[in-house]
C-alpha cells in the first residue's frame, strides 16, 4: 500500500479515533476528579483494592487516548503506526504482568478472589495482545488491522468502564463502613 493510500485509510477512521480519544481524555479527567474528591479512601492501606481499580481504569483510558493520538498523526506511514502500536502493546503487556504480581502479592482472595483478578486483568491482557497483533498485521494488511484495532479500543474502553464502575461501588461501600 502506498503512503497516500495508507494516509487515506487512516483518514477514513479519523472521526472514530477523534471521538474515542476525546471520550478517553474526558473520562481520565472525571476519574481524577472522582479520586481527588475521595482521596482518603485511596491513600489508606485498606484502600489498596480501590487504588488498583483506579489504576486499571486510568491505564486503559490512557491506552485508548494514545492509540487515538497515534492514529490521528497526519500523513504517517504504516511503519510508524506499526512501531507506535507495538510500543503501546509492549508497555501494556509489561504493565499487566507487573499488575498480576501485585495482585498475587496482595493475596487475591482479599481483593475478591482469582475470578476477580482474571476479570480485572483478563480484558486488559486481551487488549494488549490485540494491540501487538494489530501492530504485526498493520504492515501487511492495514485495512484488516484498522478493523481489529477498532475491536481493541472497544475492549480497552469496556475494561476501563468496568473498573471505573467497580471503583464507584467500592468507594460507596467504604464510605458506609462503620469506623472502628
Regions of the chain with pLDDT less than 50: 109
Looking at residue 34, its pLDDT comes to 83
As a whole number of angstroms, the distance between CA 115 and CA 113 comes to 5
Burial 120-133 (b: 16+ CB within 10 A, else e): bbebbbbbbebbbb
Q: Please check whether residue 149 is in contact with residue 21, taking contact to mean a CB–CB distance below 8 angstroms.
A: no
Looking at residue 134, its pLDDT comes to 97
Tell the residue number behind the cell numbers 481524555, with chain if given. 25
Looking at residue 45, its pLDDT comes to 67
Looking at residue 18, its pLDDT comes to 96
For residue 113, what is its C-alpha cell?
478472589
Looking at residue 65, its pLDDT comes to 97
As a whole number of angstroms, the distance between CA 153 and CA 50 comes to 24
Looking at residue 81, its pLDDT comes to 94
Looking at residue 173, its pLDDT comes to 77
Looking at residue 37, its pLDDT comes to 82
Looking at residue 54, its pLDDT comes to 83
Looking at residue 101, its pLDDT comes to 76
Task: Quote the pTM value.
Answer: 0.86
Looking at residue 113, its pLDDT comes to 65
Looking at residue 137, its pLDDT comes to 95
Q: Please check whether residue 4 is in contact with residue 138, taking contact to mean a CB–CB distance below 8 angstroms.
A: no
Q: What is the secondary structure of 8-66 as a DSSP string? A: HHHHHTHHHHHHHHHHHHHHHHHHHHHHHHTHHHHHSGGGHHHHHHHHHHHHHHHHHHH
As a whole number of angstroms, the distance between CA 163 and CA 51 comes to 11
Amino acid at each position: 500500500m502506498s503512503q497516500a493510500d495508507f494516509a487515506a485509510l487512516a483518514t477514513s477512521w479519523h472521526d472514530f479515533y477523534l471521538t474515542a480519544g476525546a471520550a478517553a481524555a474526558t473520562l481520565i479527567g472525571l476519574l481524577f476528579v472522582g479520586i481527588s474528591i475521595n482521596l482518603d479512601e485511596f491513600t489508606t492501606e485498606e484502600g489498596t483494592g480501590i487504588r488498583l481499580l483506579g489504576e486499571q481504569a486510568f491505564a486503559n483510558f490512557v491506552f485508548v487516548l494514545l492509540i487515538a493520538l497515534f492514529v490521528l498523526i497526519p500523513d504517517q506511514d504504516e511503519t510508524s503506526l506499526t512501531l507506535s502500536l507495538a510500543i503501546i502493546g509492549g508497555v501494556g503487556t509489561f504493565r499487566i504482568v507487573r499488575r498480576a504480581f501485585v495482585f498475587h502479592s496482595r493475596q487475591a482472595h482479599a481483593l475478591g478472589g482469582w475470578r476477580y483478578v482474571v476479570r480485572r486483568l483478563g480484558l486488559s491482557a486481551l487488549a494488549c495482545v490485540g494491540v501487538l497483533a494489530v501492530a504485526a498485521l498493520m504492515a501487511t494488511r492495514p485495512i484488516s488491522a484498522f478493523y481489529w484495532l477498532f475491536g481493541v479500543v472497544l475492549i480497552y474502553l469496556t475494561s476501563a468502564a468496568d473498573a471505573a464502575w467497580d471503583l464507584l461501588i467500592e468507594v460507596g461501600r467504604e464510605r458506609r463502613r462503620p469506623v472502628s
